[in-house]
């Protein structure tokens, strides 16, 4: 496997990215039946993630809790698994079936969910009625079965699944060092791995993705690389060990997640590097993470927010990147931002002690579209002589999230004495500024001459 790549660590290609938490509280655990707001619900070592763009659903392989969960409109529910490790339950309700460390999830265009049930050595399917069946694997680890029914073939710790636009299922059969394919008739074949030639070998393929052209991308945990498999079977390395670039920024460390966006860019969960990387036009960049493990409690600018062993990655139709940040027991969302613009509240001249008549308002956009639910930090900066404040408890700093129009606002109270005030609204490194002049009542009321 050979290839070439240019590396530019730390660059996000002309846009800035911010991180928010969409599920998890930062400590591992199980909330049992306390399904509700995703950001208040405990997860335990989430590893896989998939986005159903048409239905605005995010699926999570909550491996440590032996469940698969879904987030829709900020609410989390369990769709498969009881919370107890085990096997069985086929033909019945998925929520009553037992899973064993599910590590990968995928959803097809019809909303059918596929689960890599790793420690059961199976791939399971959840239909529209919520019933679960096995589509590949016997439950006994091992190789073999190509050319026959997938349910009679053996798998060995399958950790990743993907479905292409034609409904063909692909499996990262990790401990067999193969990528397997299940067609519409339910028959299984090997797509790559297990060959005699070095270029045909895969080393612990852990995650898998398929683009619109049918090209398969594989994260090889044991080889510190991501490989590309053409429809004709040709295998090349596109990132990590084996590319023609020896610089430190080109290296990967045990990647466990891979996803491909609608524009063809490839996103990699660089697990041992504690980063999320992006490969576009042969250039590898860090999109999020510092390279050191951490919880990143407050979120913020993506490249300065620590991640902890991220293992799953998915991309929605807007280019938002969802990450299963395994070590922090969270699901994080990376949003790219092009512009922060003031849309109201600039240039006001309030009287001392009064509330500003118009809230300070900014609009956040990416490629002309509003960016929703990202935090905007309003900060009073510079030479503030008036004593203006946002609130008694947080006088100089206020955080607000953008609404469906991409707008965030802050209410400001003028200080007790006349003076000037400058306020900055920041998202990542993008900043919009406001100015105000707190005037005495007499000066504010004086007619213009």
Please say which residue of 295, 316, 337 terminates a domain: 337
Q: What is the pTM of this model?
A: 0.86
Please say which residue of 287, 302, 337 terminates a domain: 337
Residues 224 and 353 in one domain: no
Instruction: Residue 384: count other Cβ atoms within 10 Å of its Cβ.
Output: 17
- Residue 438 belongs to domain with CATH number: 2.60.40.10
Residues 275 and 398 in one domain: no
Residues 320 and 352 in one domain: no
Residues 286 and 347 in one domain: no
Residues 321 and 352 in one domain: no
Among 290, 314, 309, smallest CA distance to 301 is for 290
Domain that holds residue 268: 6-337
Instruction: Residue 74: count other Cβ atoms within 10 Å of its Cβ.
Output: 12
Residues 192 and 288 in one domain: yes
Q: What's the angle, vertex CA 1, arms to CA 234 and CA 243, rounded to 5?
A: 130
- First-to-last alpha carbon distance for the chain, in angstroms, is 79
Q: What is the pLDDT of residue 336?
A: 86
Residue 176 to residue 319: CA distance in whole angstroms: 33
Sequence-separated (6 or more) residues with CB below 8 Å from residue 152: 138, 145
Structure tokens at 1: 């496997």
Residues 332 and 373 in one domain: no
Residue 173 contacts residue 136 (beta carbons within 8 Å):
no
Strand, helix or coil at 327?
Answer: helix
Residues 157 and 184 in one domain: yes
Residue 388 contacts residue 436 (beta carbons within 8 Å):
yes
Residue 144 contacts residue 190 (beta carbons within 8 Å):
no
Q: What is the pLDDT along the chain (449 residues), one digit of tens a residue?
A: 334 333 333 333 445 889 999 999 999 998 764 668 999 999 999 999 999 999 999 999 999 999 999 999 999 999 999 999 999 999 999 999 999 999 999 999 999 999 999 999 999 999 999 999 999 999 999 999 999 999 999 999 999 999 999 999 999 999 999 999 999 999 999 999 976 544 568 999 999 999 999 999 999 999 999 999 999 889 999 999 877 555 556 799 999 999 999 889 999 999 999 999 999 988 999 999 999 999 876 567 899 999 999 999 999 988 899 999 999 999 999 998 889 999 999 999 999 999 999 999 999 998 888 998 888 999 998 655 668 999 988 899 999 999 999 999 999 999 888 888 999 999 988 899 999 998 876 544 444 44
Residue 258 contacts residue 268 (beta carbons within 8 Å):
yes
Residues 74 and 194 in one domain: yes
1 is a domain residue: no
Residues 185 and 250 in one domain: yes
Give the count of domains, the chain: 2
Residue 173 to residue 218: CA distance in whole angstroms: 11
Structure tokens at 387: 């004593």
Residues 328 and 351 in one domain: no
58: part of which helix (H) or strand (E)? Answer: strand 57-62
Residue 88 to residue 121: CA distance in whole angstroms: 12
Measured in degrees and rounded to the nearest 5, phi and psi for residue 128 equal -65, -20
Strand, helix or coil at 39?
Answer: helix
- Residue 85 belongs to domain with CATH number: 2.120.10.30
């Amino acid at each position: 496997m050979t290839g070439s790549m240019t590396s530019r660590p730390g660059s996000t290609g002309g846009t800035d990215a911010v991180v928010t938490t969409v599920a998890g509280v930062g400590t591992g655990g199980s909330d049992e039946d306390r399904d509700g707001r995703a950001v208040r619900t405990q997860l335990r070592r989430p590893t896989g993630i998939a986005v159903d763009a048409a239905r605005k659903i995010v699926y999570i392989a909550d491996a440590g809790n032996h469940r698969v969960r879904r987030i829709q409109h900020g609410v989390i529910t369990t769709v498969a698994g009881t919370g107890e490790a085990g096997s069985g339950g086929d033909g019945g309700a998925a929520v009553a079936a037992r899973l064993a460390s599910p590590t990968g999830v995928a959803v097809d265009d019809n909303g059918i969910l596929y689960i890599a049930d790793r420690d059961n050595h199976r791939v399971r399917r959840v239909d529209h009625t919520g019933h679960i069946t096995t589509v590949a694997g016997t439950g006994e680890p091992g190789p073999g079965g190509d050319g026959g029914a997938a349910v009679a073939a053996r798998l060995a710790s399958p950790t990743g699944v993907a479905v292409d636009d034609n409904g063909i299922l692909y499996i990262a059969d990790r401990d067999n060092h193969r990528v397997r394919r299940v067609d519409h008739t339910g028959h299984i074949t090997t797509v790559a791995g297990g060959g005699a030639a070095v270029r045909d070998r895969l080393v612990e393929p852990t995650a898998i993705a398929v683009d619109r052209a049918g090209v398969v991308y594989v994260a090889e945990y044991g080889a510190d690389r991501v490989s590309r498999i053409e429809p004709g079977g040709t295998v090349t390395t596109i990132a990590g060990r084996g590319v023609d670039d020896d610089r430190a920024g080109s290296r990967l460390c045990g990647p466990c997640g891979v996803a491909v966006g609608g524009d063809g860019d490839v996103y990699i969960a660089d697990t041992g590097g504690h980063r999320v990387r992006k490969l576009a036009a042969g250039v590898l960049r860090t999109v999020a993470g510092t390279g050191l493990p951490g919880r990143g409690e407050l979120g913020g600018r993506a490249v300065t927010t620590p991640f902890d062993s991220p293992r799953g990655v998915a991309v929605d139709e807007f280019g938002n990147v969802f990450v299963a940040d395994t070590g922090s027991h969270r699901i994080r969302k990376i949003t790219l931002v092009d512009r922060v613009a003031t849309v109201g509240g600039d240039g006001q001249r309030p009287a001392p002690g009064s509330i500003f008549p118009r809230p300070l308002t900014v609009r956040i956009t990416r490629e002309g579209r509003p960016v929703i639910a990202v935090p905007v930090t309003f900060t009073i900066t510079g030479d503030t002589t008036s004593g203006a404040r946002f609130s008694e408890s947080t006088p100089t700093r206020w955080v607000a999230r953008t609404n469906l129009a991409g707008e965030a606002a802050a209410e400001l109270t003028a200080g007790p004495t006349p003076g000037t005030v400058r306020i900055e609204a920041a998202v990542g490194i993008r900043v919009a500024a406001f100015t105000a002049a707190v005037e005495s009542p007499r000066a504010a009321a004086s007619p213009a001459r």
